[in-house]
Amino acid sequence: MAHLPLRDIEAWVNRSIEERRAEVAKRKGYVARPMNSFMLYRSAFADRTKEWCTQNNHQVVSSISGESWPLEPPEIREQYNEWARIERVNHQNAHPNYKFSPSKAGVNKKRK
């Protein structure tokens, strides 16, 4: 199995305001929530997990990431917590009027 590099989370959380606003423009004005520490961790390991599991299934990736997250040493978790803090600050700077407003189940999405 080939070695797959981890996603560069530090570069991702430090992307510019312009990049963040371009992402919103591509998504027709939708501003995604800032990622928390676990979501950043999952994102960093997603490609590697897919390769290990030989499945391109986000549920499997999330499950395996969820099992490995509590096993990480405290310094790794602290680093992801710091990146999540940076992500929140940079998200706020790029989208100062952002307010999380969850959609109610069944209103905007159809269940399969």
Per-residue pLDDT band for 102 (boundaries 50, 70, 90) equals: confident
Cα angle vertex 14, ends 2, 86, to 5°? Answer: 110
The SS3 call for residue 35 is coil
Per-residue pLDDT band for 112 (boundaries 50, 70, 90) equals: very low
Those residues with Cβ within 8 angstroms of residue 64's Cβ, 6 or more apart along the chain or in another chain? 49, 52, 53
Structure-token pair, residue 76: 């790794």
Q: Is the pTM of this model over 0.85?
A: no
Question: Could you tell me the residue ranges of all domains in the chain?
Answer: 9-94
Q: Which architecture characterizes domain 9-94 according to CATH?
A: Orthogonal Bundle (1.10)
CA distance to 2, 69, 71, per residue, from 60 (Å) = 20, 14, 17
- Predicted pLDDT of residue 1: 40
Q: How far apart, in whole angstroms, are the C-alpha atoms of residue 15 and residue 40?
A: 14
Mean pLDDT to the nearest integer, 40-45: 89
